Amino acid sequence: MKFRSTLSTLSTLSALSMVFLVCSCSLTYGQTRISGSVKNSADNKLAAGINVTVNTKDTGLLLTYALTDDKGAYQLSFKTSSDSVVITVSGMSVKKQTITHPNKSSLLNFNVAYESIVLKELKVKPPKIRRLDDTLNYDVGQFTGKNDRTIGEVLKKMPGIKVAEDGAISYHDKPISKFYIEGQDMLEGRYNIATNNVEAQDVETVQVLENHQPVKALKNKEFSDQGAINLKLKEGAKNVLVANTQLGAGLAPVLWNNELFGMYFGKGKQFMATYKGNNTGDDSATDLQNFYGGDNSLGFPVSLGIQSPSGPGVGRKRYLLNRDNAVSLNNLRTIGKDYKLTANISYLNDRQIKDSYSRLENYLPGDSTLVIEERMKAIEGFHYMDATVKLNANKEYLYFDNSVRFSGDLHRNEYGSVENAQFIEQDRSAPYFKVSNNLSVIRNYKKSTIRINSYNGYGRLDDGLEVRPVLYPALFSDPGTLSGTRQSLRQNLFVSNTNIGFGMQHGRFRQNYVAGANASLLRLNSELQSLTQDGTTGNTADSLSNNLNWDRYDIYLTPEYSYADKKSNLTLKLPLSNISQYSNDQVAGNHKHQARIFFTPSLSARYKLNLLWELYGQAGYAQSIDGAENGYTGYIMQSYRYLVQNIGQLPERSTQSYNMSIKYGHPIKMLFASWSGSYYRSKMNLLYGNEFQGFLAVRRTLDIPNTANGYNFSFSADKGLEGIFQKISLNAGYNNSENTQLNQTEIVAFLNESYSAGASINGKLGEWADFDYGLRYGRSENIIKNDARSFIPISSAAQSAGFNLFPVNGLVINLKYEYSFNSAVTGDGRRMNFADAGVRYNLKKLEFKLEYNNIFNTRRYIAAAYNGIGSYYSSYDLRPTQVLMKVRFKIK
């Protein structure tokens, strides 16, 4: 039975109700009329728009209600059998008043007090990923777990986005082209500074800008298949200085780990500063890595090195014996409307110790095997400095960019010792620096675009390697007892690359022409001398020295034709280049000039089937000729056991390559997948090999044309989920490569085949725990053609599991376990286990973190792998068990 209490409207029923009221006054269940006004007690003013409600006393049911008019007056009339009613006065900015009043008509005035009421909020949950045109918006809050502090940790959980071990971010398996914060690229590629330091709680949204063309003047003219990332900060993190610090100490031995971070993001002004220092195995240099590729134009062709172990296949934190300090200062300022000035300065000093045992087995012709066993220890010192100042304007019709950069290490040194049959000491000092200027201008005129690019740089490397005792006594004829050898190598390099480009648009077709000239002028001086016991150097034989001027000039023209419509993109490049190399070997008195004309066409096509599917294909042909790195003719001792001399002929290579890929991306289903395959075939004119004299190797070159080829397939998929499992990733790959190598005097063809597969899952168990699990499997096999001996396939597997518990608010317990297996290892190292634990506790603005790493105290990492026609086994010393206490707090 529904009871309906009718509300009387004064406008239509007032006359009637007056009559009714008069009649019913004397009745028992008559109409009650209560009227009055509501006043504000603070200012004594009449309050309008206030709710006045009448509820029955027994059932609490709403009988009637009224809103006060602009004179603060209200009128209520109702009918009820109960003897008293509850009258409530309420409003958004007044204190609620409730009184019990007898059920009889009366005049009732209220005085209310100001008070803003607080409602229980109802959070609107936006979709986790939202697409607006070419931009994907990831809602950071929904991807952030309780164990995640920095935005880098959250990025790893976002489907479609991949973060590699070193921090490199890729979207759809392609590295991102730009990393912006609030739409500005302040860090210029060193975005680990942001991902490792900016707190996830300060970021509102991570935006992926698909097919992002960072140069506005090329927008809608030049297609880019790379994505870019933009961090949109929360309002509270903008226009204020955000700063925090971390202090950490631990045992064994004495450990320290400190950090200081500050950032400011305001209109037209961005600033970020970091300091990191530790001896706990956290490589502070990872923050300073440039993922935009940096400056590769100034590469010294030859370098020396101490024989030092290559890193093992576990997380760097497990084996890095460091003592480092890194500082970075980054500043961006807009000048006027269009220009911005960016300055980035970073400095790193580090002392790393490496300790390992390795065993290299090389199958030699016949039935013999060469075994090189080395117990190696190395201490490397870095003092790396990098400073860049950049002025940039990015407008629709004009792009201007000029950057000046200095980088170098003026005290770089390495010391190493090797024990095999004897004790060998190596001492290297290799200070270097590079200065460069890069200018880029793009200007649009109606349908055409002109661009100018000019890079000029100078670099100098003073390399020196001393090895004791003398290992190649036959090379020297100096009198007396020799204590060692000294290799010195100085390179002065000047590089200038300038090109001018012109582009024209005809509807969907575009043609682009780039003409350029590159010059690379190298002065290389080297001497290999003996060291006598009193420290003096011996005579320099001509065959052991180089005094080389090596100048290379390239002139090239690159016509480029492209077609783009709504669904497809087609680009044909037809670069033609003329290369001239002039070498002047002043020791041998040789002048040489070599000229080549190279044609290196490529064709790439992309087709968007629909919003979800995309196809890509590419084919290309490339030609190259080496320079001074394989052109010097005097001996250079590149390491204690590797002596290199060239025959004077330069290696040339031509390669054809084909790539294909299919991509699928569904942001609403949070499913991203890609398939790709590639094939290459290279032709070389020279065949290289090492000739072993005991453990010492001398490089040999033969004038025998040879080929190498290979193909691979890969698949990867990412699925974002709601519920216990949040993200599942799968990947698989197959790789096949065939090579030819010179083995002593015999030519050997060998084939390597490898498979890999992996899966990872992360998820959460309600509010109290989250977890991740990863599995990796790989199998590799080497086959020497026409040889009865075969390598046993090596299988390796690794698993890792992490578990984070959140028992009470502010407390996080981390547990981590890693397992690895290598079938080529016998004994202890075949299966390796690592475990770490940690506790984090937040107390107001303080965060305490206790870390207990390498609980099982696993001291060595054993690896085995194939290396050309040999196999390689190594045991690398790891960091022992360590306990570390860290405190992090917000300064501002």
**Whose Cβ is closer to another protein: residue 23's or residue 61's?**
61
Q: What is the dihedral of CA 217, 220, 224, 227, to 10 degrees?
A: 90
Tokens for 272, please give them: 């970020």
Interface with another protein, residue 669, by CB under 8 A: no
Distance CA 770, CA 157 (A): 12
**Whose Cβ is closer to another protein: residue 211's or residue 429's?**
211
Interface with another protein, residue 541, by CB under 8 A: no
Tokens for 276, please give them: 């990191």
Give least dist CB 56 to another protein, A.
Answer: 10
**Among 58, 166, 542, 565, interactor with another protein by CB under 8 A:** 565
**Whose Cβ is closer to another protein: residue 208's or residue 684's?**
208
**Among 16, 251, 341, 611, interactor with another protein by CB under 8 A:** 611
**Whose Cβ is closer to another protein: residue 113's or residue 765's?**
113
Please report the beta strands in 533-600, taking only residues with DSSP state E, as ranges in sequence order. Answer: 545-564, 568-573, 576-585, 590-599
Q: Which stretch binds another protein (CB under 8 A): 365-373, 501-509, 644-652, 705-713?
A: 501-509
Query: Would you tell me how many other CB atoms lie within 10 Å of the CB of residue 4?
Result: 5
Give least dist CB 400 to another protein, A.
Answer: 18
**Whose Cβ is closer to another protein: residue 43's or residue 121's?**
121
**Whose Cβ is closer to another protein: residue 571's or residue 726's?**
571
Interface with another protein, residue 610, by CB under 8 A: yes
Interface with another protein, residue 92, by CB under 8 A: yes
Interface with another protein, residue 212, by CB under 8 A: no
Q: Is the peptide bond before 705 cis (omega within 30 degrees of 0)?
A: no
The 8-class DSSP code of residue 318 comes to: H
Give least dist CB 204 to another protein, A.
Answer: 15
Contact 68, 50 (CB under 8 A): yes
Helix (H) or strand (E) holding 664: strand 652-666
Q: Which stretch binds another protein (CB under 8 A): 48-56, 164-172, 424-432, 775-783?
A: 48-56
Interface with another protein, residue 96, by CB under 8 A: yes
Q: Which of 672, 780, 643, 800 is nearest to 730 (CA)?
A: 672
Please report the beta strands in 469-589, taking only residues with DSSP state E, as ranges in sequence order. Answer: 482-506, 509-532, 545-564, 568-573, 576-585
Give least dist CB 443 to another protein, A.
Answer: 13
Give least dist CB 263 to another protein, A.
Answer: 22
Residue 812 one-letter amino acid: V
Interface with another protein, residue 3, by CB under 8 A: yes
Q: Which stretch binds another protein (CB under 8 A): 535-543, 603-611, 664-672, 803-811?
A: 603-611
**Whose Cβ is closer to another protein: residue 508's or residue 831's?**
508
Q: Which stretch binds another protein (CB under 8 A): 28-36, 330-338, 516-524, 605-613?
A: 605-613
Q: Which stretch binds another protein (CB under 8 A): 28-36, 60-68, 632-640, 693-701?
A: 60-68
**CA 151 to each of CA 31, 194, 196, 292, 721: distance values in angstroms, whole numbers, following the listed order:** 65, 8, 7, 20, 20
Distance CA 734, CA 499 (A): 40
Interface with another protein, residue 53, by CB under 8 A: yes
Instruction: Determine the length of the chain.
Output: 892
Q: Which of 734, 739, 737, 730 is nearest to 754 (CA)?
A: 734
Interface with another protein, residue 396, by CB under 8 A: yes
Distance of CA 202 to the CA centre of its chain: 19
Tokens for 7, please give them: 């509300």
**Edge-first strand listing for the sheet containing 129-132:** 129-132, 135-139, 203-209, 228-233, 178-181
Q: Which stretch binds another protein (CB under 8 A): 51-59, 174-182, 342-350, 658-666?
A: 51-59
Interface with another protein, residue 32, by CB under 8 A: no
**Among 26, 44, 100, 121, interactor with another protein by CB under 8 A:** 121
Give least dist CB 292 to another protein, A.
Answer: 24
Interface with another protein, residue 722, by CB under 8 A: no
Provide the terminal-to-terminal Cα distance of the chain, rounded to the nearest Å.
63
Interface with another protein, residue 100, by CB under 8 A: no
**Whose Cβ is closer to another protein: residue 120's or residue 267's?**
120
Give least dist CB 6 to another protein, A.
Answer: 7
Contacts of 303 (CB under 8 A, 6+ apart): 430, 461, 463, 489, 638
Give least dist CB 726 to another protein, A.
Answer: 23
Interface with another protein, residue 337, by CB under 8 A: no
Distance of CA 221 to the CA centre of its chain: 28
**Among 133, 534, 722, 767, interactor with another protein by CB under 8 A:** 133
Give least dist CB 159 to another protein, A.
Answer: 21
| Residue given tokens 């396939």 in the structure block | 793
Half-sphere exposure of 4 (CA within 13 A, CB side): 3
Q: Residue 477, exposed/middle/buried by CB under 10 A (0-12, 13-18, 19+)?
A: exposed
**Among 21, 30, 49, 821, interactor with another protein by CB under 8 A:** 49
3-state SS, one letter per residue, for 735-769: EEEEEEEEECCEEEEEEEEEEEEEEEEEEEECCCE
Interface with another protein, residue 5, by CB under 8 A: yes
Give least dist CB 116 to another protein, A.
Answer: 8
**Among 65, 347, 561, 841, interactor with another protein by CB under 8 A:** 65
**CA 539 to each of CA 426, 528, 543, 544: distance values in angstroms, whole numbers, following the listed order:** 21, 9, 12, 10
The 8-class DSSP code of residue 338 comes to: T
Interface with another protein, residue 15, by CB under 8 A: no
Q: Which stretch binds another protein (CB under 8 A): 186-194, 329-337, 607-615, 628-636?
A: 607-615
- Which residues in 587-617 are b (16+ Cβ under 10 Å) and which e? beeeeeebeeebebebebbbebeeeeebebe
Give least dist CB 115 to another protein, A.
Answer: 12
Tokens for 688, please give them: 């290289």
Q: How many residues bind another protein (CB under 8 A)?
A: 57
**Among 44, 81, 220, 422, interactor with another protein by CB under 8 A:** 220
Q: Which of 196, 184, 278 is nearest to 233 (CA)?
A: 184
**Among 234, 508, 593, 669, interactor with another protein by CB under 8 A:** 508
Interface with another protein, residue 241, by CB under 8 A: no
Site for another protein in 418-457 (CB under 8 A): 444, 446-447
**Whose Cβ is closer to another protein: residue 70's or residue 722's?**
70
**Among 149, 172, 212, 221, interactor with another protein by CB under 8 A:** 221
Distance CA 557, CA 514 (A): 6
Helix (H) or strand (E) holding 325: strand 324-335
**Whose Cβ is closer to another protein: residue 61's or residue 113's?**
61
Interface with another protein, residue 367, by CB under 8 A: no
Interface with another protein, residue 211, by CB under 8 A: yes
Interface with another protein, residue 595, by CB under 8 A: no
**Among 15, 27, 107, 122, interactor with another protein by CB under 8 A:** 122
Interface with another protein, residue 31, by CB under 8 A: no
Give least dist CB 228 to another protein, A.
Answer: 15
Contacts of 334 (CB under 8 A, 6+ apart): 268, 269, 340, 341
Residues that bind another protein (CB under 8 A): 2-7, 9, 11, 48-49, 51-53, 61-67, 70, 88, 90-93, 96, 116-124, 133-134, 211, 220-221, 396-397, 444, 446-447, 505, 507-508, 510, 564-567, 608, 610-611
